[in-house]
Amino acid sequence: MVRLRHAEPVMGTVVSFDVDSAFAAAVSAAVRWLHWVDGTFSTFRADSEISRLGRGELAVGQCSPEVGEVLTACAALTAQTSGYFSVRAGGSLDPSGYVKGWAVERAAAMLTSAGSPAHCVNGGGDVRCTGSSPRGGDWRIGVADPLHPGTLALTVEGSDLAVATSGIAERGRHVLDPHTGLASQGLLSVTVTGPDLAAADAYATAVFAMGYPGAMGCRGEHGWSGAGYEVFGITADGGTWQTPDFPAARAAQGRPG
């Protein structure tokens, strides 16, 4: 089995594919999909449907059906997270905290539909793996250590697993607390694992927005049940915390050298 590795610059980042080379055509279709999502949902493009919708030039009904689908899903996630996930955290319409994970989840599903039994798609740090790894057994997903660039904080193992991380370095922007409009404090990164990357991406954004120590209560006082989803956080002083069933393979190893 020859593996195909493809890295596609799109959505302001790079989406990496790891799949059997027999499914190259499906990768091409997934890449076209990602570029369509970029053109439709980018808040950096004044002529995207989401930008025009945000300015009131379009109604939801005049947009592509996917726009309404995304906004409906975002509204449900806002309700599930006591408002900590919001498409208007910064004032203007911006569903980016959901769209990237959603787009990558769909791209991975396209590979599955084409018959690929095992693949991994990484959308700029938000990872969806399907089936078992090319080595056999679980996929191994490293979680980057924001305090020590180039090293991993820990490794997550699993098959059919989504891993999303929100952090302060995210495209050079801060994650805002929708309730205050201010930058979230106290956390360097939040990683959420679970069955669906779209939800995991939104949950990671929401838990990060709660700040620290508030995020430690994400399961209870903030009203998010997050069934099936697990959380790992790194605080500003380098401390870590995680929910009991977070699928960590092992603690971080020392810096190589």
Partner 1 sequence: MRRVILAVTGTIAGLVALLGFRSHVPSAAPLVSGTSPGTGTAGSGASASASALPAGAHTVDGAAANTVYGPVQVQVVVRDDKITGVNILEQPHGTVNDLQIGQFAFPKLISETLAAQNAHVDAVSGASYTSAGYITSLQSAVDKGA
Site of interaction with partner 1 (CB under 8 A): 3, 5, 7, 9-10, 12-14, 16, 18, 100, 120, 122, 124-127, 129, 133-134, 139-144, 146, 149-152, 155-156, 163-172, 189, 191, 253, 255-257
- 3-state SS, residue 61: helix
Return the number of other C-beta atoms located less than 10 Å from residue 15's C-beta.
Answer: 22
Min dist CB 221 to partner 1, Å, is 26
Which helix or strand (DSSP H or E) is residue 68 part of? helix 65-80
The residue (of 68 and 90) whose beta carbon lies closer to partner 1 is: 90
Provide the sign of the torsion angle of the four alpha carbons 214, 167, 196, 131, taken in this order.
negative
* Minimum CB–partner distance for residue 40 and partner 1 (Å): 18
Q: To the nearest whole angstrom, how small is the minimum distance from the Cβ of residue 24 to partner 1?
A: 16
Structure tokens at 50: 């989401």
In the complex, least distance from residue 12 CB atom to partner 1, rounded to whole angstroms:
6
- Nearer Cβ to partner 1 (11/63): 11
Q: Which is nearer to partner 1, 51 or 96 (CB)?
A: 96
Residue closer to partner 1, measured from CB, 29 or 169: 169
To the nearest 5 percent, what fractions of the chain are helix, strand and coil? 35, 25, 40
Q: Is 243 exposed, middle or buried (0-12, 13-18, 19+ CB in 10 A)?
A: middle
